[in-house]
Structures are given as C-alpha cells and as structure tokens.
C-alpha cells in the first residue's frame, strides 16, 4: 500500500473516531431515560412542578410529558405535584391521554393545578384531573367543547390548474378529504363523532369538579370564562398563582416546608456546548408554522381558537 493510501486510511479512521466521540458526547450520561431535577425555590421535601405549555403535546413531546408523570408517580421522594397549565388545548386523543396519566398520579399524590394566562378547552380538560384548581382572576379558561376544521382545497387546486382523481372502494371512503364538499350524510356522521368527544369532555368536567352532570352541560357551551367567573361557577376552587398552588399542594401532603423542583432533560457535553438549535437553521416560529400546516387536516380538537386557527 503506497503512502497516499495509508494517509487516506488514517484520515478515515480519524474521522470515524471523531464521529463516535461526538456521538458519545451528544448522548445523555448515565441514567438515560430518567429526568433530572432543578430546584426552583424553597427548602424541605419535594413538590414537583409539571408544565403543560402551548398546544397539548403530540408524538415525542407527548411521550416526554407522560414519562415525567410516570417518574413523578414512581419517585417516593416527590410528595406532591403542581400542574402549571398555559395551553389552549389540542387533539382529543392526546388530551385524554394526558388526563388519564394525571388522574392516575392524583390517586397517589396531591395534585394541584395552577393556571397561567390561558388554560382553555384541552388545557382545562387536563386540569380537571387535579384535586384542586387555582387560577388568576384574569386568566382565560373554559371553552368546554370540541371543534374540527376541514380545509377545502379544491378551489386552490383549480386555480393552480391541478386536478385530483380519487379511486375508492367504499362509498364514503374519501369523506373529509377536503377535495370536495361534505354531503349532508357525511356531516351527520362527523357530527356524531364530535358529539362523542364532547360528551366525554363534559363527563370529565363533572367528575373532576364533583358537580352534577346537568350543571356541567350548562357550563359546556364553548364559551370562555375569566378565572374569577370560573371560581364562582365551581370550575376552579380559588384565585391564586403558581406559588399559591405550590403551597397548597404542600399543605395537602402535610408538609411543614417544601422545595419546588422541575424536571429537566439530561444533556451530554456536546449538547451543552452547542445548545439545541434547529438543524435546519429555522426559527421556532417557522418550525411552528410548518408543523401547523402539516396538520391542516380533519381532526377533532379540544382547542380554544380565540388566539388564532393554529
């Protein structure tokens, strides 16, 4: 083997070694799969802060949130939990998954919900799993209902000179595709689908707030409430903010003193040095827009749309 080939081989091995080393640096250290803790304030036994911010999580973000709930259940040193909600809601399936996990947690440890600026629709749905709900008087909540949007794209396709031919077996196979208007029969079918999701939401409100089902239905016409109104109507327990909720959770756990902690993801050295910038160089706003556009399809949501369609 001549000198050039030797040099090429050595260079290849060096690149391979660097790649392997960077991969190890990027990977979390020992304890992978477990969330680390960061103290926020106080001293004493642990009260954990879980944060439900933005649209109800999906995919990997949903898995991460559920794993935090699971770790909180399993960790005996976590004596109580505060759920901070700053969310307009999201998909019905994901919202129910979050609620079920939180309900299981609340059976074992005191769980107190604390509202931010907006805790509406699916955000409120998730909070009904808590033993108590605290809300700022000016928070926006309620919006108890279900909604579905269906983009109709046939007009846009016509302007672009595009035609879509659909081949199907099953008379209603292409309903809600957005390629043609819904027939009255299809609207009725989808409306029944919405009704089932709506009734589940009302049931969760009645169960969580320990109110008669009839009252829950009266409050569940989709309107929004201020935090002050929510307390008066029984949709929340009292006015308060995050620190108030943390103190209340500690009280329910019988703690004389407490420290509030949150979970953080373990990072390798490579991640710590370079941060978590988008590999495509996109801003968070652009990524959010692309994600929203990719989800522009028929789907049921417990979502408050007052802040915009997305």
Catalytic positions, please?
A: 121, 173
Asked if residue 72 lies in contact with residue 261, where contact means CB atoms within 8 angstroms, the answer is no
**At how many degrees (to 10) do helices 59-74 and 92-108 cross?**
10
Query: Rounded to whole angstroms, how far apart are CA atoms 203 and 93?
Result: 15
Q: What is the CA radius of gyration of the chain?
A: 24
Contact predicate 56/94, CB 8 Å: yes
Q: How far, in Å, are 67, 72, 175 from residue 102 at the CA level?
A: 11, 10, 35
Q: What is the dihedral of CA 234, 237, 240, 244, to 10 degrees?
A: -170
CA angle 159, 161, 162 (to 5 degrees): 110
Query: What does residue 152 show for φ and ψ, rounded to 5 degrees?
Result: -105, 110
**Contact in structure between 236 and 230 (CB atoms under 8 Å):** yes
Name residue, tokens 């652009």: 286
Neighbour count for residue 75 (Cβ, 10 Å): 16
């Amino acid at each position: 083997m001549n000198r050039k080939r030797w040099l090429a081989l050595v260079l290849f091995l060096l690149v391979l070694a660097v790649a392997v080393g960077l991969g190890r640096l990027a990977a979390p250290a020992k304890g992978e799969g477990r969330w680390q803790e960061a103290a926020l304030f106080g001293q004493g036994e642990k009260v954990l802060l879980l944060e439900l911010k933005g649209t109800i999580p999906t995919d990997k973000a949903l898995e991460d949130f559920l794993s935090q709930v699971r770790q909180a259940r399993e960790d005996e040193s976590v004596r109580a939990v505060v759920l901070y909600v700053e969310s307009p809601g999201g998909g019905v399936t994901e919202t129910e998954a979050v609620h079920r996990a939180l309900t299981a947690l609340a059976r074992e440890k005191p769980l107190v919900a604390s509202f931010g600026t907006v805790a509406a629709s699916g955000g409120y749905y998730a909070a009904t799993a808590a033993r108590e709900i605290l809300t700022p008087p000016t928070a926006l909540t309620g919006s108890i209902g279900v909604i579905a949007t269906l983009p109709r794209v046939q007009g846009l396709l016509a302007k672009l000179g595009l035609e879509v031919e659909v081949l199907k077996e099953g008379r209603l196979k292409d309903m809600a595709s957005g390629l043609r208007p819904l027939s009255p029969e299809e609207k009725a079918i989808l409306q029944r689908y919405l009704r089932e999701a709506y009734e589940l939401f009302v049931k969760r409100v009645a169960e969580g707030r320990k109110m008669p089902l009839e009252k829950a239905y009266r409050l569940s016409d989709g309107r929004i409430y201020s935090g002050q109104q929510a307390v008066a109507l029984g949709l929340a327990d009292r006015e308060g903010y995050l620190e108030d909720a943390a103190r209340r959770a500690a009280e329910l756990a019988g703690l004389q003193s407490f420290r509030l902690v949150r979970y953080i993801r373990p990072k390798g050295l490579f991640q710590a040095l370079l941060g978590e910038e988008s590999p495509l160089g996109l801003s968070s706003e652009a990524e959010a827009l692309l994600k929203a556009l990719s989800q522009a399809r028929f789907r049921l949501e417990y979502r408050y749309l007052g802040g915009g369609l997305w």
